[in-house]
Amino acid sequence: MVPCLVWSSLSLRVIHAGDGSVPLNAPVNVLGHALSRQRRRYLQRAECVLATIAGHPVGLAAYHRVESDVRLVLEFVLDPGLHRRDRCEVCGALIASLEMLSQEDGVQCLMVMIEADVPLDPFRRRRYTTVAVNPAGAWLQKQLRVSHPASPRRYIH
């Protein structure tokens, strides 16, 4: 279990597709989540935002960068060992980063697929709407204002 979050040690890093630094620690495990071979291949070819606390990965969001008005984030995982409050904070930092990166690329709509263990509160606070829900998770979306980027700069190194 990760200790209570210390904000001075939270870092976000953008990992570009194919650079080999996605934290695939075990053949089927990413941040405590078992992933199929197909999902791992997706991660290896995706752009990722990795959240770490003192060098320990605690969150990951992944998407394929394409020329489109819509960006789909198909992987959004958090370390299950985080306390609920810390999961919400890491989730919020990942969302802000995704929004900023999407706005910089001219994306107008951000859609995020989340699993059932990802807290909804940070998405609600940022005005995401639910597109679809099932027992495994949900699709959420937000229309972005390209001219007003989000500001998670204090976290990104």
Task: State the Cα–Cα distance between residues 130 and 46, nearest whole angstrom.
Answer: 24
Nearest to 48 by CA among 8, 18, 4: 18
pLDDT score for 2 = 46
pLDDT in tens, the chain (157 residues): 444 555 558 899 998 876 665 555 544 455 666 677 777 777 778 898 989 888 888 999 999 888 889 999 988 999 988 999 999 999 999 999 999 999 988 999 999 999 898 999 999 999 999 999 988 899 999 999 875 444 555 445 4
Secondary structure of residue 8 in the 3-state scheme = helix
Q: Is beta strand 109-115 parallel, antiparallel or unpaired with respect to 70-78? A: parallel
pLDDT at 4: 52
Task: Give the pLDDT score at 45.
Answer: 82
Contact 61, 22 (CB under 8 A): no
Q: Cα(39)–Cα(5) distance, rounded to whole angstroms?
A: 28
Length of the chain: 157
In the three-class reduction of DSSP (H, G, I as helix; E, B as strand; rest coil), residue 82 is classed as coil
pLDDT at 154: 47
Per-residue model confidence (pLDDT) at position 1: 43
Secondary element (H or E) of residue 143: strand 137-143
Integer Cα distance of 143 and 18 in angstroms:
29
Q: What domains does the chain contain, in order, with CATH numbers?
A: 7-143 (3.40.630.30)
Q: Which helix (H) or strand (E) holds 113?
A: strand 109-115
pLDDT at 140: 97
Instruction: Write down the pLDDT at residue 147.
Output: 59
Q: Are 69 and 103 in contact (CB under 8 A)?
A: no
Structure-block tokens of residue 83: 């306390």
Pull the structure tokens for residue 65. Answer: 């960068």
Confidence at residue 129, expressed as pLDDT on a 0 to 100 scale: 97
Taking the alpha carbons at both ends of the chain, their separation in whole angstroms is 24
